[in-house]
Amino acid sequence: MYTFLKPYTFNNGMTVKNRIMLAPMTNFASAENGEVTDDELAYYRERSQGVGTVLTAVANVTPGGKGFPGEIGIDRDDQVAGLSKLAQTIQGEGAKAIIQMFHAGRMAPPDLLPDKETVSASAVAPERDGATTPRELTEDEIQSIIQAFGDATRRAIRAGFDGVEIHGANTYLIQQFFSPHSNRREDEWGGSVEKRMRFPLAVVQEVLEAAKEAEQPFLVGYRISPEERENPGITMEDTLTFVNELAKQELDYLHISVQDFFAGSMRDASDQRSRVQMIQDEVGEKIPVVGVGSLHTPDDVERAMAGNVPFIALGRELIVEPKWIEKVEAGQESEIRTDMSVNDREALVVPESLWNVIVNTPGWFPVKEHVEN
């Protein structure tokens, strides 16, 4: 039996049926006001039947924190009814439902924001073409955003989710506070690595406090990117300091965001150690680690778990093959779909909005042109 098919019980008593999570992937399929749509529900229903846990696409905790068109929202109480449908859809297929939440910070497209103005730890633009320079957040705004994460957690509880994942990765606001590139503050929120940890840890504390209001076991995870390419940028040394601090919190898991589980440093080509494995070796005995990144086959997943990483999240693999787990369980590994044609959208139950991005982004997914017989 594959290791990843075994159940797992968290410290809070919640048991998941296996070690595979659906990775949190933006699907661009929510309504303009952040409401869940039928297309979104169908997409999750199709992918919730085999995995133990579903991590939803990221949801913004404030109107000014929206990062994508068609993004799900968790910033208003009137969204709870739709969020409840999403949680029930996932749980109805046998998976635990965890909603990921964030504030996009300086990575938000200005035209999606109420005042068309991006904000961040400091007024430093990201290193990318056409980037706008954000406005530095005030102390009151920082406190308000921290509170917004707590309010979002309460909405998740009311909607019936099994947990939340704090998105502290992929260059969004929480990471922007931790990064010496985007955080040049000279107050209590910036400077040394300890000061740059303060905002992420304040969000964690706020969310954990709100999570105590759940009447059932409720998971709180944290997603982190180990490094940044920018100089100055987040180094592995920074991250190992940070994960040791995160491991002291009452978090239920730590999700490591990388493109390739086995890849080495993006800052130092001579350092070929897996970033995920380094974090597992550092804190894995204190907090469960979730690995991810270009693991296509059951053997890939087993090899990744050989270093005692207890969970693996699959993203693109479960878009290309929604029945990945079911085929493994049935001994049909050879029938797992590894590519798709431009005509497969309906068969794979992918929202048109996400499908258009997939087929128009060369190299992101293994898409082949459909050939008529």
Task: Cite the active site residues.
Answer: 172
72-86 CB burial, b ≥16 within 10 A, e <16: bbbbeeebbebbbbb
Q: Three-state DSSP class for 4?
A: helix
Q: Name beta bridge partners: 340.
A: 367
Euclidean distance between CA atoms 180 and 182, whole angstroms: 6
Q: Three-state DSSP class for 73?
A: strand
206 — phi, psi (to 5°)?
-60, -45
Closest by Cα among 13, 17, 103, 82 to 54: 17
Q: Three-state DSSP class for 314?
A: strand
319-351 CB burial, b ≥16 within 10 A, e <16: bbbbbbbebbeeeeeeebbeebeeebbeebebb
Q: Residues with Cβ < 8 Å from 95, sequence gap 6 or more?
A: 17, 22, 48, 49, 51, 52, 53, 54
